[in-house]
Structure 1
Amino acid sequence: MEAKGGKGEKRRMIAITGAAALAAVGLNFLISSIRAHRDKEDRSNSNKSKKDLTWSSVRVNLSASEIHKLADHIIAKSKETYDLVASIPLGKVTYMNVISPLADLEAYQFPLVQSCLFPKMVSPLDDVRKASADAEQRLDSHFLMCRKREDVYRVVKAFVERGERLGPEATRYVQCLVKDFERNGVNLTLSKRIEMENLRSQIDKLSLQYVQNLNEDASFVLVSEPELAGMPPHFIESLTKTKSAERKVFLRSHHVSPILEHCKTGYIRKSIATSYAQRCGKENLDILDNLIQLRHKLARLLGYSNYSDFVVEPRMAKKSAKVFEFLEDISANLTDLAMRELNMLKDLKSKEEGILPLVWKIYCIT
């Protein structure tokens, strides 16, 4: 986007800054809720807990086979716990035999899951990264299946209907637990659950295709070495050189970000930024359009006005209207400051490159 000055022309820019606060149920939250409603365990259970503590720390040096085994262990333990809770007669539900096992399971699983997922981001070994990615897919699928178990939901709802008095942490945990089940459609009729599964299957498929398109994109921009003024020599040398002595700037973040920050040639920065923003546009625009429609249908099916309300509900704002209200308030308060900073950037650009159209860099927060 360009901003051009003109005599007598008055510009007003509204700066919109937003952030969504994601409320998470952490380990301390779980532990405190469990302690508030758990009697002292006997020595045998205590000894068993001590043995389980060998899994309680996140491990970052697992081999591929160890990651697979750990994922198997997590899934087996989770299934065992959910089966146990589902077997409780509805007339005999208590905090200790319904809520506490599920809360215990989440606290126990947290470091184990991180041990499986962390290597995907940091391991130098291909087989370990692949094992970690496979484990993530398996665990995500399993946890989603757990939150769709109607038999467990019925038992949890039976406990809620008993009206047992709980502390604030435990009350909040139970509320989140019930909401998680309902956000996955367990309270819908069979026909609507089938429709929901179909929608989610389409959404997952399109989302995966969208990401794959970006990952497989090999487009680049040809740039001459003089146009890369301001870039470190080692960076320029790292770029593939063509027969015409031009350099290939691939539209990947490790090429794009340094150029946008350090290159002194304005039109090159603009060209790179524009090309980067438009990559896979032909393929992904249709995918985005379909995703918008499918997500809206899913949200409506689950009883929400729109997909934004569905996403925001577990977060602090609760409603998308509240988010827009917050952004509008921030925008009004930041307009003057944004204009001052814009003028500073114009002056700096003018001193460094002469009077040229100002290139903006737009950040989108989703």
Structure 2
Amino acid sequence: MESEENREKMSKQKRDRNLLAFTGAAAIAVLAVNFAIAAFNAGRKKHKKKDLRGSNVQVNLSASEILKLADGIIVKSKLVHDAVASVPLEKVTYMNVIAPLADLEAEQFPQVQSCVFPKLVSSLTDVRKASAEAERRIDAHVLSCSKREDVYRAIKAYASKGEWIGPEAKRYIQALVRDFERNGLNLTVTKREEVQRLRAQIDELSLQYVQNLNDDNTFLLFSEAELVGLPLEFLKTLDKAENVKFKVTLKSHHVAAVLELCKVGRTRRLVAVAYGKRCGDLNLSVLERLVETRHKFARLLGYSNYADYAVNLRMAKTSSKVFEFLEEISASLTDLASKELMMLKDLKNKEEGDLPFGVEDMLYYIKRFEEQQFDLDFGDVKQYFPVDLVLSGVFKICQDLFGITFKEVVDVEVWHNDVRVFSVFDLSSNELLGYFYLDMYKREGKYGHTCVVSLQNSAVSSTGDKQVTMIPVALLISQIQKDIVGHPSLLRFSEVVSFFHEFGHVVQHVCNRASFAKFSGLCVDPDFVEIPGQLLENWCYESFSLKLISGFHKDITKPIKDEVCKSLKRWRYAFSALKLKQEVLYCIFDQIIHSVDNVDIVELFKHLHSKVMLGLPMLEGTNPASCFPRSAIGFEAACYSHIWSEVFAADIFASKFRDDGILNQYAGMQFRNKVLAPGGSKDPIEILSDFLGREPSVKAFVNIRSEYGL
């Protein structure tokens, strides 16, 4: 057992540690300090944890405390909304109508998140259940507030006076009015009731569509000879029928494995056809009714179709702009995609003879090409990415790019021993910008995906006669396997890319300086929100930064080799045009069915498939529209958004970083101040145009694929 003096000494080392500078040989010190800190934490005495200065986030609430806080949030919110509603329309002012709502949102955002985020991370079942129940109660209250005609009339009365106190406040007021009117508050009572009825019907049909897919238990039977190419480890996971054949289900992990690895073309085709036939006529009928109902809903609210309703709040603004964007991307990629397709056809001809190439062959022959052309063993690549080295590397890159520094905060309340907390400072002024919690490792009961959660948004609110500035607090959740004795925590390359992407959202969150919580953190245009994460992914493929974040786990002074760096970059863009063509196909389909009435969905998909996929026909008897959940719930008329943000991230990287140095701090600071700081307080196209010095373009996105593609 360490002495009290030694424990105090080690505690001081941890408080003073700045992870930024640890790369290459210095990373040995990081690992040594981490080990010492872990030993210290295991033996220290319990004592009261300190609070994070400026954070109103509460962690480690019990189940009863969560529910009590949720009920208190609802009571306070109702009081404020009642007070706003009680203001006579001829006496409405900014201070008695708008400011109370803005201040309530700023104050309650971290309180709401304190109730909601435990369902993602808590190890206690009762806490997760209480958190989910709290979210249900709060969501129900928010929904009721969105239907309050009295509050809407007060806001509308002030908005009609045109007394804007600033551009951000004007945008905030317009957003409040818009949100109410998208719920039908500007309609007659009869039409408003119809809007609510249609919304409920849309929700019911959407859930039915997805539930039908979830309930599908279809499986196919194959002999071992029919599954040649699949690893023995995979075959061991499959159930067997009485005739000793293997059961291959139509769950995505089974289908992906067969389509990518199985050497038997007939097996690939049978699985692809069965996968494309799921829920057949059943879901086709649901989707037809769903699209029809969405159009009725949108037209009641004054839009010409559902696509225009969905896109109106996004950067694209109109469905016609989305079509224009998708057509430009598709046409620009045609030549490269045709070349890629020809290479795959040649590969199939050499391996299977003179058999026609189908969409079911794409994944298999892409994998075969990669095996033949790239000297990449991702099992070996993983040995170069110890967790602590990747973390220190991303800290260093963000310091050099964005002028921010990270320091670990110790002795603060967390919900699990694995959780770490970091403060984020401006490098030049040492101003505290915000905090983020890092919950990296897998454990039972924890949310199963890598993501960033906003816990407290940047905002300026009024308390009495003084203003209070809320600083951002974020949470990064990941699912990394924790190290065990003799087996260090290593990241697969895909996990490195995912971690960098999510860290882009952390930087996006803590660098935001919007005055209203509604525009802060990740509360930005859905077409815009992914750009920072997609931008930071680029540093995972550049030799300079790859060497910064890598080191062989048995000797971390040895970074990843140059030839591997080059192979990773080529691998990134291999067959990317053909893959994007397939994604564009679904995006165009999604946009058309939500823009036009009475579309023959099956014939539309057949037509689009052949046109977009360079003459490749749709698999006979399949009906992808019956098993395309993004059209049903969550991304309807917005499937294009991922490509949209990826295109603009590529433009930013190519024009500001790749050509002028990937650690160009001038460009990084411009991105931080012009793009990240405003958040949702300005129009995204205006923000990007100001940063780029022109309107965003698809040119860089297409050119880089031609440059590094096949």
TM-score by length of 1: 0.75
Shift of 1:233: 1.8
**CA distance in structure 2 between the partners assigned to 1:184 and 1:68 by the alignment:** 28
**Structure 1 344/319 Cα, relative in aligned 2: closer, same or farther at 3 Å?**
same
**Structure 1 249/74 Cα, relative in aligned 2: closer, same or farther at 3 Å?**
farther
CA contact (8 A) 2:57 2:113 kept: no
Shift of 1:63: 6.3
- Residue of structure 2 equivalent to 1:278: 277
Summarize the alignment of residues 1-366 of structure 1 with structure 2, pairs less than 5 Å apart: 55-56=56-57, 68-114=67-113, 118=117, 134-360=133-359, 362-363=582-583, 364-365=586-587, 366=639
Aligned AA for 2:96? N
Aligned AA for 1:300? R
Q: Tell me, what secondary structure is at the counterpart of 1:358?
A: coil
**Range moving further from structure 2, 263-272 or 332-341:** 263-272
**Range moving further from structure 2, 219-228 or 154-163:** 219-228
**CA distance in structure 1 between the partners assigned to 2:157 and 2:113 by the alignment:** 32
Q: Deviations over 1:309-332 (max 9, x none)?
A: 010000011111111111122222
**Structure 1 205/160 Cα, relative in aligned 2: closer, same or farther at 3 Å?**
same
Q: Deviations over 1:142-187 (max 9, x none)?
A: 3232222111101111111222123222221211111110010001
**Range moving further from structure 2, 324-333 or 95-104:** 95-104
Q: Deviations over 1:55-110 (max 9, x none)?
A: 437x5x76665654454344334333322322223233222332223223333444
- Residue of structure 2 equivalent to 1:30: none
**CA distance in structure 2 between the partners assigned to 1:233 and 1:87 by the alignment:** 70
**CA distance in structure 2 between the partners assigned to 1:289 and 1:138 by the alignment:** 33
**Range moving further from structure 2, 209-218 or 185-194:** 209-218
Q: Tell me, what secondary structure is at the counterpart of 1:240?
A: coil
Aligned AA for 1:195? E
**Structure 1 75/262 Cα, relative in aligned 2: closer, same or farther at 3 Å?**
farther
Aligned AA for 2:349? S
**CA distance in structure 1 between the partners assigned to 2:66 and 2:125 by the alignment:** 13
Shift of 1:192: 0.8
Aligned AA for 2:57? S
**CA distance in structure 1 between the partners assigned to 2:318 and 2:220 by the alignment:** 42
Q: Deviations over 1:105-125 (max 9, x none)?
A: 333444455555556666677
Q: Tell me, what secondary structure is at the counterpart of 2:229?
A: coil
**Structure 1 260/103 Cα, relative in aligned 2: closer, same or farther at 3 Å?**
farther
Q: Tell me, what secondary structure is at the counterpart of 1:357?
A: coil
CA contact (8 A) 2:221 2:245 kept: yes
Shift of 1:303: 0.8
**CA distance in structure 1 between the partners assigned to 2:185 and 2:100 by the alignment:** 20
CA contact (8 A) 2:57 2:114 kept: no
- Relative contact order, higher structure (CA 8 A, sep 6+): 1
**CA distance in structure 2 between the partners assigned to 1:283 and 1:192 by the alignment:** 31
Shift of 1:268: 2.3
**Range moving further from structure 2, 151-160 or 330-339:** 330-339
Q: Tell me, what secondary structure is at the counterpart of 2:75?
A: helix
Aligned AA for 1:316? M
**Structure 1 239/56 Cα, relative in aligned 2: closer, same or farther at 3 Å?**
same
**CA distance in structure 1 between the partners assigned to 2:88 and 2:170 by the alignment:** 22
Q: Deviations over 1:183-241 (max 9, x none)?
A: 10001001111211221221122122222222222222222222222222222111111
Aligned AA for 1:299? A
Structure in which a larger fraction of residues adopt helix? 1
CA contact (8 A) 2:205 2:290 kept: yes
**CA distance in structure 2 between the partners assigned to 1:174 and 1:255 by the alignment:** 50
CA contact (8 A) 2:229 2:263 kept: yes
CA contact (8 A) 1:71 1:113 kept: yes
CA contact (8 A) 2:220 2:249 kept: yes
CA contact (8 A) 1:56 1:108 kept: no
CA contact (8 A) 1:266 1:359 kept: no
**Structure 1 85/226 Cα, relative in aligned 2: closer, same or farther at 3 Å?**
farther
CA contact (8 A) 2:226 2:267 kept: yes
Would you say how many aligned residue pairs link Structure 1 and Structure 2? 315
**Range moving further from structure 2, 188-197 or 207-216:** 207-216
TM-score by length of 2: 0.41
Q: Tell me, what secondary structure is at the counterpart of 1:221?
A: strand
**Structure 1 334/80 Cα, relative in aligned 2: closer, same or farther at 3 Å?**
same
CA contact (8 A) 2:116 2:132 kept: yes
Q: Deviations over 1:290-310 (max 9, x none)?
A: 111111111111111001101
**Structure 1 80/341 Cα, relative in aligned 2: closer, same or farther at 3 Å?**
farther
**Range moving further from structure 2, 267-276 or 131-140:** 131-140
**CA distance in structure 1 between the partners assigned to 2:252 and 2:160 by the alignment:** 52
Aligned AA for 2:188? T
CA contact (8 A) 1:203 1:291 kept: yes
Percent of residue pairs identical: 61
Q: Deviations over 1:247-305 (max 9, x none)?
A: 22222223223333333333323322332232222322211111111111111111110
**CA distance in structure 2 between the partners assigned to 1:80 and 1:143 by the alignment:** 13
**CA distance in structure 1 between the partners assigned to 2:203 and 2:75 by the alignment:** 25
**Range moving further from structure 2, 199-208 or 63-72:** 63-72
CA contact (8 A) 1:85 1:152 kept: yes
Unaligned runs of 5+ in 1: 1-49
Shift of 1:138: 4.1
**CA distance in structure 2 between the partners assigned to 1:266 and 1:205 by the alignment:** 39
CA contact (8 A) 1:121 1:129 kept: yes
- Residue of structure 2 equivalent to 1:14: none
Aligned AA for 2:255? V
